[in-house]
Amino acid sequence: MITPLNTSSRAASRGLSDISIRNLFIIPTIVFLIVFNIFPLIYSLGYSFTDFRASTNAPANFVGLKNYRELLSDPYIWNNFAVTAKYVIVSVLGQVVVGFGTAMLLNRTIPLKGLITTLLLLPMMLSMAVVGLFWKLLYDPSWGVINYVLDLGKFQWLGDPKMALYAVAFTDIWMWSPFVMLLSLAGLSAVPKHLYEAAAIDRAGPFYTFFRITLPLVAPILMIAVIFRTMEAFKTFDLAYVLSTQPSTEVISIRLYKMAFQEWQTGRSCALAYIVLIMVLAITNIYVKYLNKVKER
């Protein structure tokens, strides 16, 4: 005898309606989010208006916008932001150029393409701290491999205040170009082949074809890569922290870390964290607006 399958009555027989199953899946996530994300977010917003120090037992006094006012008029903080901006521009630009270039090279039939792609993705899969430690060894002026190979004697990569930021950015480029490459590769392979044939028939040269067909079609996915990388570079901490102690590489997250856990200015650091958050949101919003415009075109 064949009995018709009735899933709803089965579920009901176990005392579970569709809604309760849905809740079963959603509630743990919501609880987790509230406890570990939403609550600290709001709680720290409260702290950012006080002079609270986590290292003492003194009660937190409400100080209004004092923290924000002082931070935004502090030239040292602005210097940290300038360093961060420089770092973001150099590293994201480098990643886009190298990543997109590699993707262009890989976007054809070559032997062992899969293997080469996988190998190129390896840097991205390593831990930031490990990469930092390794590159510190590579950059070492006396016995680092880089100086040995390039025959640069005792060139100071991380010791030189001007060079250090570029050295950190270079490591970041090495590590994250594969990410841009991966997204670009997806974008490039989605460009229909017949468009290139049509362009060849229309007697378009390689540059014309690249700027008129390839780039406009890959632009949206490239923009997504840029958004991700900018956000990450803006809040970069581990790589810069492990690699260098120079003031010239003190990006805003390092300043924030020092303020919060070395100087124990908890209230003030919460305020700074909020300023950073608002800035990242603002930049991302500009990007997303631009992305939508690119997509619309």
Least distance from another protein to the Cβ atom of residue 194, Å: 5
By the rule CB under 8 A, 263 interacts with another protein: no
Name which position in 198, 281, 282, 286 contacts another protein (CB under 8 A).
198
Our CB check for another protein shows the closer of 197 and 263 to be: 197
User: Could you say which of 2, 110, 115, 201 contacts another protein (CB under 8 A)?
Assistant: 201
Dihedral pair phi/psi, residue 62, rounded to 5°: -70, 125
Instruction: Provide the residue type at 10 as one letter.
Output: R
Which residue in the set 216, 247, 261, 288 belongs to the binding site for another protein (CB under 8 A)? 216
18 or 197: CB nearest another protein = 197
Select from 122-130, 152-160, 168-176, 187-195 the region that touches another protein (CB under 8 A): 187-195
| Least separation in angstroms between CB 233 and another protein | 29
Comparison of 159 and 220: residue with beta carbon closer to another protein: 220
Provide DSSP, 167-224: HHHHHHHHHHHHHHHHHHHHHHHTS-HHHHHHHHHTT--HHHHIIIIIHHHHHHHHHH
First CA to last CA distance, the chain = 61
Based on the shown chain and the rule CB under 8 A, indicate whether residue 203 belongs to the binding site for another protein. Answer: yes
What does the alpha-carbon distance between residue 32 and residue 55 come to, in Å, rounded to a whole number? 27
Regarding 215 and contact with another protein (CB under 8 A), the answer is no
Q: Which of 128, 138, 217, 283 binds another protein (CB under 8 A)?
A: 217
Q: In whole angstroms, how close is the CB of 211 to another protein at the nearest point?
A: 11
Q: How many residues bind another protein (CB under 8 A)?
A: 19
Query: Does residue number 197 form part of the binding site for another protein (CB under 8 A)?
Result: yes
- C-alpha atoms less than 13 angstroms from C-alpha of 191 in its C-beta half-sphere: 24
Segment near another protein (CB under 8 A); pick from 19-27, 55-63, 199-207, 266-274:
199-207
Could you write out the DSSP letters of every residue in 43-112? HHHHHTTB---TTS-PPPPB-TTHHHHHHHT-HHHHHHHHHHHHHHHHHHHHHHHHHHHHHHHHSS--TT
From the list 70-78, 111-119, 171-179, 206-214, the region that binds another protein by CB under 8 A is 206-214
Interaction between residue 213 and another protein (CB under 8 A): yes
Site string for another protein, 130-159 (x = CB under 8 A): ------------------------------
16 contact partners, CB below 8 Å, separation of at least 6: 24
Residue 197 tokens, joined:
């044939």
Stretch that binds another protein, among 27-35, 192-200, 252-260, 272-280 (CB under 8 A): 192-200
* Cβ-based nearer residue to another protein, 116 or 217: 217
Q: Residues 82, 295: contact at Cβ < 8 Å?
A: no
| CA count, 13 A, side-chain hemisphere, 90 | 18
Residue 239 carries which DSSP code? H
Among the residue ranges 14-22, 143-151, 213-221, 247-255, the one whose residues contact another protein (CB under 8 A): 213-221
Q: Should residue 195 be labelled a site residue for another protein when binding is judged by CB under 8 A?
A: yes
> For residue 4, what is the DSSP state?
P
178 and 124 Cβ atoms separated by less than 8 Å: yes
**Residues making contact with another protein (CB under 8 A):** 192, 194-195, 197-205, 207-208, 212-213, 216-217, 297
